[in-house]
Chains A and B, each alone.
Chain A
Amino acid sequence: MIRVQNLVKKFADFTAVNDVSFAVPRGEIFAFLGPNGAGKTTTIKMLTTLLPPTSGRLQLNGLDPIRQPNEVRQQFGIVFQDPSLDGDLTAAENLELHGVLYHVPRKVRRERAEILLKLFELWDRKDTLVKKFSGGMKRRLEIARGFLHTPKILFLDEPTLGLDPQSRNQLWTHVKRLNETEQVTVFLTTHYMEEADRVAHRIAVIDHGRIVAMGSSQELKRQTKTESLEEAFLALTGTTIRDETANPSDQLRQVAQMWRR
């Protein structure tokens, strides 16, 4: 479903993604783990047509994100690291807008919206403006939205950042269920190892733009002779803390977070 070969992304002075190759079969939940600045989000951006790669080959459901961006965009749903809802519209309107942008026929998008809003326990709040939602409700709505156009692949970029354990638990339950019922391939990143341990069929650990290990949680633990995935992760990536310089979008994120309070 996803095929990446020798993917490289260079920015002016450093290489964010350095010769990465992997493949994700249909219906798999694949976790991409790595410290800050390891290249996770950059990889997702290239897979989702937001960023052109420097070199290497990409394929999503047999399509090339560079040459067929609009066809590829129809294949996936994505939940970004930070919110991407319109707070001045209601939950239902956000879904409606998404459905129109993804060419979902009117009847189908109304039906899907109802099913998904009920599943994510937002149906009775569907006519509330999204800016009045809590963080957890917004996240749920975003994931519901990601499923609206029945994507073949769902990208989740740190979807549980800043959520309480209840919301996180519920969110993964839904993702797992939809993965099973709709055979959606899930590509996720997270900093919570126990989440990856619980939901992911296979895990790739990336550091400094390279994949340092790949396999099931069991295999990674065996390979590093550790007890938990967290220990395995630390054994693979070391214990030094990665400091990133804030770029304009990080600064914007901070401003946006301030405004939201």
Chain B
Amino acid sequence: MHAIFILWLREVKKYTRSRAQIVASLGQPLLYLLVLGFGLGPVFQQAGNGSYLQFVAPGVIGMTVLFTSVFSGIALLFDRQFGFLKETLVAPVPRIRIMIGRTLGGATVAMLQGTLIFVVCLIAGFRPVSLSSIPLGFVFMALIAIVFAAFGTAIGSGLQDMQGFQLIMNFLVLPIFFLSGALYPLHNLPKVLAAVTRLDPLSYGVDGLRGVLTGRLMVFGTGTDLLALTLIAVVLLIFGAWRFSKIEI
């Protein structure tokens, strides 16, 4: 238990110490929120879908949690580069605990970052339907964070260099974001696109987050979203732990 806690604490400490990085990581979500939010607003309104800011804010929160958690998992690559990974692998602690500590730490950091963006959304004019919807919103944030932190760990365990990292960003993480319905509604899509969006774990996260926070009609429904995310989280945690156990230095 202590080992899990200290590795979790390490992730959180590193996050709270990297002020410059926190500010920098606000840039992208702000662009989506403000430029897309206000830029696409009029078109969205005319199409009869209501306020785009209101629509896109949960998507941007989901995106932030996605990027932060995947990145924290892939940070394994940096620990490998700077050697710290070896220190944890020769320690008399089963690898599964090391993996869980790191992953929970990464998920916590993603939650903190998501909360920060949530506050930014509120300042920009986003209004949740009710205060009581917020706790369930955080449950969804937590599930997205765990799913993608485990996903990041699974990928980071196999990465050897920076080129691989670029590949993952462009061919896995960005598609996960663009196919999730974070930026556009998943209703009435072409069949192929609709099918692909249903394979994307983040679709369920964004759908849940948006449905809960804004009260909009959901694509899948709260129950389905919770179930799907929980199942995916379990599968990815097991997969990530297995991949982590296979690391050779």
Option from A70, A84, A102 in Cβ contact (under 8 Å) with B86:
A84
CA distance A88 to B10 in the complex (A): 9
Interface string of B1-30 (1 = CB under 8 A from A): 011011100100110011000000000000
In the assembled complex, A216 has its CB within 8 A of some CB on chain B: no
Residues of B within 8 A of A101 (CB): 3, 6, 87-88, 91-93
**Lowest 3 A-B CB distances belong to which pairs?**
A73-B92, A101-B91, A84-B83
- Main SS at interface, chain B: helix
Contact check, B90 vs A48: say whether CB atoms are below 8 A apart.
yes
Interface footprint category on A: 35 or more
Docked-complex contact A88 and B14, CB < 8 angstroms:
yes
A/B interface sample: 16 pairs, CB < 8 A: A48-B90, A51-B248, A82-B83, A83-B83, A84-B84, A84-B86, A85-B83, A86-B87, A88-B14, A89-B10, A98-B87, A101-B88, A101-B93, A102-B92, A249-B249, A255-B81
Contacting residues, chain B, for A179 (C-beta < 8 A): none
CB-CB contacts below 8 Å: A236-261 with B: 248-249, 251-252, 255-256, 259
Number of residues from B at the complex interface, CB < 8 A: 31
B residues whose Cβ falls under 8 Å from a Cβ of A: 2-3, 5-7, 10, 13-14, 17-18, 79-94, 160-162, 248-249
Q: How many A-B residue pairs have CB under 8 A?
A: 82
Are the C-beta atoms of B2 and A100 separated by less than 8 Å? yes
For B5, the chain A residues whose CB sits under 8 A away are 100
Residues of A within 8 A of B14 (CB): 88-89
B18 neighbours in A (Cβ, 8 Å): 88
CA distance A248 to B159 in the complex (A): 10
Q: With the chains together, A35 CA to B160 CA distance in Å?
A: 26
Q: With A48-B90, A74-B92, A103-B92 in contact, do A256 and B249 touch (Cβ < 8 Å)? A: no
**Selected contact of B91 from candidates A88, A102, A256, CB within 8 Å:** A102
A93 to B84, CA, bound (A): 13
Which residues of the partner chain A approach B249 to less than 8 Å between Cβ atoms?
45, 50, 249
Q: A48-B90, A50-B90 are in contact. Are A93 and B81 (CB under 8 A)?
A: no
The CA of A14 and the CA of B196, in the complex, are separated in Å by 46
- Find chain A residues with CB under 8 A from B83 CB: 80, 82-85, 256
In the complex, the answer to whether A97 meets B161 with C-beta atoms within 8 Å is no
**Is A49's beta carbon under 8 Å from chain B?**
yes
